[in-house]
Amino acid sequence: MKLISKIIVISSLAYTANAAIVQVSSVPNLNGGSGDYLVVDSTGALLTSGFAGTGGFSVSDVTVSSLVSNNDYSGLIAAFTPFVGTDDFILGTSAVLGVVPGAFTISVDPFNPTSFIGQSIYTFIGNGATLGSSTEYALFLHSETFTADPAAPALPNEYYMDLANGTSSIGIFGTKNNVTDENLGITNATVSTYQLVNAIPEPSSLLLSIVGLVFLARRKR
């Protein structure tokens, strides 16, 4: 129950026009089973710290795809805006939990999505305290988009999102064996994972690139 108390937000809301409840979690089922994804780094190790932010881009989805194709992480980071809640922004935008390595939950309650209505919703994950300080990334495009809230006195829209509904722009889905976590109630289990991509070339790859450039320069001479 310790995990549930940390990542599930239960609160009495002062409902306001255009307010919304937003929660994004990598472990919506809390049991390491179907629908749960633990985030791992490029080596396959469970993340114990890092950045997980959910928000939108100031550029179109086509431009986001182009930035991804060009490995333009600085461009992606500059165009990304995480949500900022007006109340109970649980764990902020640095939401990788230490309770369950690899798990994160972001909750904003209530939230006014006016500037995000109609936009695609992304979760951007990094292995650093901020996206700017990260060297490995994952970018997930959720299937949901924000719509205008019903007219008062209807309840505000509620958005509960996970990594099972949508597509990965950066990052690889896989599995990890022999995972034990008492908070998830699993022992030596095989769990689903979402693996970050190293944005910096490995030394061997970088060396090959340099050798190739030198070779081309010599051929031109």
* pLDDT tens-digit map of 74-91: 999 999 988 764 443 343
| Domain extents in the chain | 2-220
Answer yes or no: are the C-beta atoms of 109 and 22 closer than 8 Å: yes
* pLDDT of 180 above 60: yes
Which pair of structure tokens corresponds to residue 78?
């500059």
* pLDDT of 44 above 50: yes
35 secondary structure, DSSP code: T
Place 146 in a pLDDT band, splitting at 50, 70 and 90.
Answer: confident
Number of Cβ within 10 Å of residue 171's Cβ equals: 22
* pLDDT of 27 above 70: yes
pTM across the whole model? 0.78
Place 7 in a pLDDT band, splitting at 50, 70 and 90.
Answer: very low
Q: Which pLDDT score is estimated for 103?
A: 92
Helix ranges (DSSP H) in the chain = 2-7, 61-69, 73-79, 203-220
Answer yes or no: are the C-beta atoms of 200 and 74 closer than 8 Å: no
3-state class (DSSP) for residue 75: helix
Answer yes or no: are the C-beta atoms of 33 and 26 closer than 8 Å: no
